[in-house]
Chain A
Amino acid sequence: MELKKILNDLHEQGLQQIKNAEQLDTLNEIRIKFLGKKGPLTQALRGMKDLSEQERPQMGALANNVRNDLQTALESARQRLEEQATQKQLQAEKIDVTLPGRHRHLGTKHVITQVMDDIEELFIGLGYEVVNGPEVEEDHYNFEMMNLPKDHPARDMQDTFYITKEILMRTQTSPVQARTLEKHDFSKGPLKMISPGKVYRRDTDDATHSHQFNQIEGLVIDKHITMADLKGTLELTARHVFGKERQIRLRPSYFPFTEPSVEVDVSCFACGGKGCAVCKHTGWVEVLGAGMVHPNVLVNAGVDPQVYGGFAFGLGPDRFAMLKYGINDIRDFYLNDIRFLEQFQGE
């Protein structure tokens, strides 16, 4: 009976101490104290050999029960204390999540590049190749191939930075078209291209003029290209850039390299066509020039105008950006004020 009481006392004391434990360390001490090799339970079990055959299994079962109970109690106490410790740590680690994060600045794409990429992607989708060419050009490609011989009065429309009599800063990206057209092998299919890039004009810089700006010109030459195709293409462009509700209007104009030539107006995206300051109360905003390629341009490039024909158009990304975002000074594009650049986070 002695042993039984000892075991029952151990059981009671153990459970009580486990219950009172506040530290994981304490639990460990309790485990060693009660269940360790030198602990009372082990001691008690050693005393079993003195018991009778009859008592031994009873006491053995009791001792195992006590050990299991204490182990279970220890385990659940450990879980309880760990949970407490975790809670405490979490409490201690609480932060003000509204504090600002640390930033890695991402650079912005220049708004002109954004506008150009947007248009380039549209035309790539329509199967156009993108062709670049020299910015320092020959008079031959910039003017003569484009049906602007030396003394053509329309050359006055474009004031030119000449380097020599024959070499100049290109005033338009159409010389790229002349160069491409000259080389194109029509047995391999039609020519569909756009030529984006910088152009230069001998102008004094002010709010609406810049001696350097950008152009994207397009050219399609094949056997069955119509002015209706031009209209459809421009409609698509206008809607892509200025919104899908836009209407376009073609007006007769004059460019030496196209005939017929048209100016293209888009219904005002600021007022929807009712009339406002942006459209000068006309409901229309002039956005680009276009036309059917002049037979002389084809002949100059060695293409037979009896067989082939097509359309060309030219637009100004600077002007597009100004219209789209209401920028009223073209010089802003080239000053690179970061407060200006970083406004255009579209891409």
Chain B
Amino acid sequence: MRISTNWLAEYVNLPETPMQIAEKETVTGIEVDDVIQPAAGLKNLVVGQIKQLQQHPNADHLHVCQVDVGQDELLQIVCGAPNVALNQLVIVALPSARIANNEKIKKGKFRGVESQGMLCALQEIGFDESVIPDEYKDGIYIFPTDAQAKIGESVFKYLGMDDTILDFDITPNRADTLGMRGTAWEVAAMYDEKPHFEKPQIQESSTPTADLLQVQVTDEHLAPTYRARVIQNVQVQPSPLWMQRRLWNNGIKPINNVVDITNYVMLEYGQPLHAYDYDRLASQQLIVRLAQENEQLTTLNGNDYNLSGQDIVIADEQHALGLAGIMGGNESKISSKTTTVVLEAGVFNSVRIRKTAQKYNLRTDASTRFEKGVDVSATAEALDRAAQLLQQLANGTITNGQLVGSQTATEPIEVVVSPQHINHVLGTNIKTAEMQAILERLGFGVVQNGDKMTVIVPRRRWDISIEADIIEEVVRIYGFDKLPSTLPVGAQTIGGYNPHQQFLRRARSLMRSLGYDEAISYALLNQTEAKAFTYNKTYLTKVDWPMTHDHEYLRLNLISGLLNDLLYNVARKQNNVALFEQGRVFPKNDVAAVRPHEVEYLAGAVTGNIEDKNWQNSERLVDFFAIKGDVEELLMSLNKQAVISYQATDQIKQLHPGQTALILMDEKVVGFVGTVHPGYAKKLGLATTVVFQLNLDEIETLADKTNIYVPAAKFPPVSRDIALVVPQTVTHAAIENAIRQAGGKYLVNINLFDIYAGKNIKNGYKSVAYNLVFQNQAATLTDMEVNQHFEQIKQILQEQFGAEIR
């Protein structure tokens, strides 16, 4: 809400400058976003009168004007506005003037004719297009006679540009300041001043309003308060300039006196009003009801709506006249021919207004106020105020009596509070008398009542109903800066991370040690990305109204996000990237489930070099085993008892069918490591990329290794090498397994140190070589003991794989 300080000063004494008010209000009540001085940066703009007007000799659309600006000589100014005419009082930018956008006006020539300045349109002196009256939209501004503009004087005061405007950023609870009166109360409380308001005085004719019109509210829930008046003999014309400038300074476009008065009173009281052309009603009725399904309405901005049964409308007997509390209809709107006006002041159901305004994307000054609440105790007065202004400014005749369709209680409400409790909550020692003084500054009544205090809150502060609300009022006026700074005292609590959080943190820390940068990617992805890299049957979860298809489904994997990150890097010539992410995936195991599980995963993705070329070594490109090694390191450091194994899989579509392994811990799949399928990588635009993903929640549940101290062996280990030729299809895991089976209890380490296929080896066969380490903790191993196991190993390898021992 924009607050004109000139206008505000009519209601309350302002002891400080607008800038100071803004600063103080920001820390006391409502944040002031901006302090606007419309004339700032502009200069040498004066009122001028066009004394002579000639066609430009060389241009059809230009005129040459001789303009009186209060100087000895007339200024010759070339003007292209279509509405320029003799004797008009206009805005003249003198030579050396500054207009909007810091543009400087200089003498110049237009098609050979000298021009000593410029006649200005409102846009050119900084007015927003949306507030400029229609008649001046496409031409220069012409001062109306009631402006009493004096030739040669600055235009600022006539146009309201000498004002300073405070832009209040109003929180939803403080809609009471969506009117000048509410704001005056607020500012007055801040400065301990008393605001003063005049009650509207009206003269009514003898014609009873009820003879002209009936109002009916079908359900009080729709409009708890609904009142109307009829004003006859109205002359529709532009409203006086003083009103117009208040409107445009508030961001509202002047239209005609009737409409302007409804808007003006809305700004005064925060109570939206609507005016109907009485003669356009099909019946002498205003009925507040719900719309029928598919009822048609054209609003006054020309839009057509197909209404639903949830919308509140104002209707006559035949059809909807307007969307209640949002926008009137085109049919009954005020026109230049209107002579009898129906003025409506109602309070409509905030939830329905909000939903309807949202549904039709039709947020108006009125709907905003009804959504947030209006002062029900001011409705009747606001209606009289509008009638008074129609009498004064449109020569209207007010008929006898307000029509009341519905009304709610307008008495103040009482909140009982305990000053002691207020101090307890605030951590202060504010005296009861001081609290009372603060509340009275706000215009609240206070009755002391033993150790309690009854606060009488007027309806204009409908945000206040409980003690906590009163505490807020007390502390904000008292001053947050005067609150002491303390820390909670009381029973000791022990802070910290729980074991689950520690486990996740450990996994993240290990990944960084392994050289991966931590990434945080989006959890909402497109459908393809979200379901990629899954190896068992899970279902996706979709959000209802995604902003874009890119962020529509909850991820089932972390790899897609990481691949997007790799791509982003590679596209920027960062070709060697190792990233990890630790976050949740959201699988549903049942297609009918509404809510997905949330599972903590860890994933890594690496592309390009894992070691750069340097002055000693050439670069090393990422491959499956580099990343598998990282996974092995990581799993070892996570310190679980479970036996870890790797099983080839070709079931993950996005991964290389020959270079992917499921990772098993105690026979349970906990993740995978694999090379991204070359086809998939190519489609994305990635070079060789290796990824892994682990289900941390699953791994966390496995039993930890108990760390028991074993002394370092005192006796020497015995080392033996064995080389064998086996068919290519025999896996390392199978050989290792066989060796372990036959190796006996002293076999402590099996280390593969060579694989060879090619020359000297039969086609389809490979030579593999292992180093075996035997160790007895208790004694020195004898050759005989070792040989015995070594022979058994040879034998089993021959038996199981037909191995040729070399």
Write 24 A-B pairs (CB below 8 A) sorted by A numbering: A124-B497, A126-B487, A136-B596, A153-B172, A161-B544, A162-B545, A163-B594, A169-B524, A192-B488, A212-B524, A222-B490, A225-B490, A226-B426, A227-B427, A227-B483, A229-B486, A232-B485, A250-B480, A251-B27, A253-B31, A259-B472, A260-B468, A294-B468, A336-B520
B515 part of interface (Cβ distance < 8 Å)? yes
Q: Is the CB of B522 within 8 A of A107?
A: no
A336 to B27, CA, bound (A): 39
Q: Which chain A residue lies CB-closest to B473?
A: A260
A160 to B569, CA, bound (A): 31
Say how far A232's CB is from chain B's closest CB, in angstroms: 4
Asked, given contacts A110-B520, A202-B545, whether A102 binds B493 with beta carbons under 8 Å apart, the answer is: no
Residues of A within 8 A of B515 (CB): 104-107
Q: Which 3 A-B pairs have the closest CB atoms?
A: A228-B427, A226-B427, A260-B472
B283 part of interface (Cβ distance < 8 Å)? no
Q: Of B31, B598, B616, which contacts A135 at CB under 8 A? A: B598
Residues of B within 8 A of A222 (CB): 488, 490-491
Interface centre among B491, B580, B583 (most CB of A within 10 A): B491
Q: Chain B 460-477 against A: per-residue CB contact (8 Å), 1 yes, 0 no? A: 000000101101100110
Asked, given contacts A102-B616, A126-B487, A251-B27, whether A335 binds B517 with beta carbons under 8 Å apart, the answer is: no
Say how far B716's CB is from chain A's closest CB, in angstroms: 32
B705 part of interface (Cβ distance < 8 Å)? no
Apart from the given pairs A105-B578, A109-B508, A134-B598, 7 other A-B contacts in the complex at a CB distance below 8 Å: A99-B615, A104-B515, A107-B513, A108-B518, A110-B519, A164-B544, A252-B28
A30 to B519, CA, bound (A): 72
Residues of A within 8 A of B486 (CB): 226, 228-229, 231-232
Residues of A within 8 A of B483 (CB): 227-228, 231, 250
Q: Of B542, B545, B569, which contacts A338 at CB under 8 A? A: B569
Residues of chain B having any CB pair with chain A under 8 Å: 26-31, 171-174, 350-351, 354-355, 358, 371-372, 424-428, 466, 468-469, 471-472, 475-476, 480-481, 483-498, 501, 508, 511-524, 541-547, 551, 554, 565, 568-569, 572, 574, 577-580, 583-584, 586, 594-596, 598, 614-617
Q: Is the CB of B543 within 8 A of A169?
A: yes
Residues of A within 8 A of B586 (CB): 135-136
Q: Is the CB of B493 within 8 A of A128?
A: yes
A339 part of interface (Cβ distance < 8 Å)? yes
Say how far A254's CB is from chain B's closest CB, in angstroms: 3
Q: Of B350, B468, B481, B508, which contacts A153 at CB under 8 A? A: B350
Q: Of A110, A125, A130, A220, which contacts B488 at CB under 8 A? A: A220
A250 to B642, CA, bound (A): 54
Asked, given contacts A107-B580, A211-B547, whether A249 binds B565 with beta carbons under 8 Å apart, the answer is: no
Residues of chain A having any CB pair with chain B under 8 Å: 99-100, 102, 104-110, 112-113, 120, 123-130, 132, 134-136, 151, 153-154, 156-157, 161-164, 166-167, 169, 189-190, 192, 198, 200, 202-204, 211-212, 220, 222-229, 231-233, 235-236, 249-254, 259-263, 292, 294-295, 309, 333-339, 341-342
Residues of A within 8 A of B517 (CB): 107-108, 110, 336, 338, 341-342
Q: Of A252, A338, A339, which contacts B472 at CB under 8 A? A: A252
Q: Is the CB of B471 within 8 A of A113?
A: no
Asked, given contacts A252-B476, A336-B579, whether A129 binds B516 with beta carbons under 8 Å apart, the answer is: no
Say how far A66's CB is from chain B's closest CB, in angstroms: 47
Say how far A281's CB is from chain B's closest CB, in angstroms: 11
Residues of B within 8 A of A339 (CB): 572, 574
Q: Is the CB of A259 within 8 A of B468?
A: yes
Q: Is the CB of A163 within 8 A of B468?
A: no
Q: Which chain A residue lies CB-closest to B518?
A: A110
Say how far B346's CB is from chain A's closest CB, in angstroms: 19
Residues of A within 8 A of B519 (CB): 110, 336, 341
Residues of A within 8 A of B27 (CB): 249-252
Q: Is the CB of A334 within 8 A of B520?
A: yes
Residues of A within 8 A of B358 (CB): 156
Q: Which chain A residue lies CB-closest to B485?
A: A232
A109 to B355, CA, bound (A): 44
Q: Is the CB of A341 within 8 A of B425?
A: no
Q: Is the CB of A254 within 8 A of B512?
A: no
Q: Is the CB of B490 within 8 A of A190?
A: yes
Say how far B133's CB is from chain A's closest CB, in angstroms: 32
Interface centre among A113, A125, A153, A154 (most CB of B within 10 A): A153
A232 to B579, CA, bound (A): 39
Say how far A340's CB is from chain B's closest CB, in angstroms: 10
Q: Is the CB of A233 within 8 A of B614?
A: no
Q: Is the CB of A295 within 8 A of B485?
A: no
Residues of A within 8 A of B172 (CB): 153-154, 157, 254
Q: How many A-B residue pairs lie within 8 Å, measured between CB atoms?
A: 248
A106 to B578, CA, bound (A): 10
Q: Is the CB of B521 within 8 A of A336?
A: yes
Residues of A within 8 A of B498 (CB): 129-130
Say how far A324's CB is from chain B's closest CB, in angstroms: 17
Q: Is the CB of A251 within 8 A of B31?
A: yes
Q: Which chain B residue lies CB-closest to A157?
A: B172
Q: Which chain A residue lies CB-closest to B582?
A: A113
Q: Is the CB of A192 within 8 A of B580?
A: no
Q: Of B425, B508, B542, B596, which contacts A309 at CB under 8 A? A: B425
A125 to B173, CA, bound (A): 36
Q: Is the CB of B485 within 8 A of A113?
A: no
Interface centre among A134, A163, A263, A342 (most CB of B within 10 A): A163
Residues of A within 8 A of B491 (CB): 189-190, 222
A295 to B172, CA, bound (A): 19
Residues of B within 8 A of A166 (CB): 594
Q: Of A128, A132, A136, A162, which contacts B544 at CB under 8 A? A: A162
Q: Of A135, A157, A342, which contacts B523 at CB under 8 A? A: A135
Q: Which chain B residue lies CB-closest to A283?
A: B23
A136 to B354, CA, bound (A): 26
Interface centre among A162, A203, A292 (most CB of B within 10 A): A292
Q: Is the CB of B518 within 8 A of A151?
A: no
Q: Is the CB of A249 within 8 A of B493?
A: no
Q: Which chain B residue lies CB-closest to A264?
A: B480
A128 to B492, CA, bound (A): 10
Q: Is the CB of B468 within 8 A of A295?
A: yes
Residues of B within 8 A of A167 (CB): 594-595
Q: Which chain A residue lies CB-closest to B583?
A: A198
Q: Is the CB of A231 within 8 A of B480?
A: yes
Q: Is the CB of B565 within 8 A of A136?
A: no
A125 to B31, CA, bound (A): 34
A124 to B497, CA, bound (A): 8
Residues of A within 8 A of B372 (CB): 153
Say how far B629's CB is from chain A's closest CB, in angstroms: 13
Interface centre among A107, A110, A228, A251 (most CB of B within 10 A): A107
Q: Is the CB of B495 within 8 A of A192?
A: yes
Residues of B within 8 A of A250 (CB): 27, 480-481, 483
Q: Which chain A residue lies CB-closest to B353?
A: A153
A333 to B568, CA, bound (A): 13
Q: Is the CB of A135 within 8 A of B493?
A: no
Q: Is the CB of A337 within 8 A of B572?
A: yes
A125 to B492, CA, bound (A): 12
A164 to B498, CA, bound (A): 32
Q: Is the CB of B521 within 8 A of A198?
A: no
Say how far B769's CB is from chain A's closest CB, in angstroms: 28
Q: Which chain A residue lies CB-closest to B574?
A: A338
Residues of A within 8 A of B617 (CB): 102
Q: Which chain B residue lies CB-closest to A291?
A: B472
Residues of A within 8 A of B574 (CB): 337-339
A57 to B499, CA, bound (A): 88
A135 to B372, CA, bound (A): 30
Q: Which chain A residue lies CB-closest to B487?
A: A232
Say how far B351's CB is from chain A's closest CB, in angstroms: 4
A227 to B476, CA, bound (A): 12
Q: Is the CB of B485 within 8 A of A235?
A: yes
Say how far B33's CB is from chain A's closest CB, in angstroms: 10
Q: Is the CB of B495 within 8 A of A336?
A: no
Q: Is the CB of A292 within 8 A of B425?
A: yes
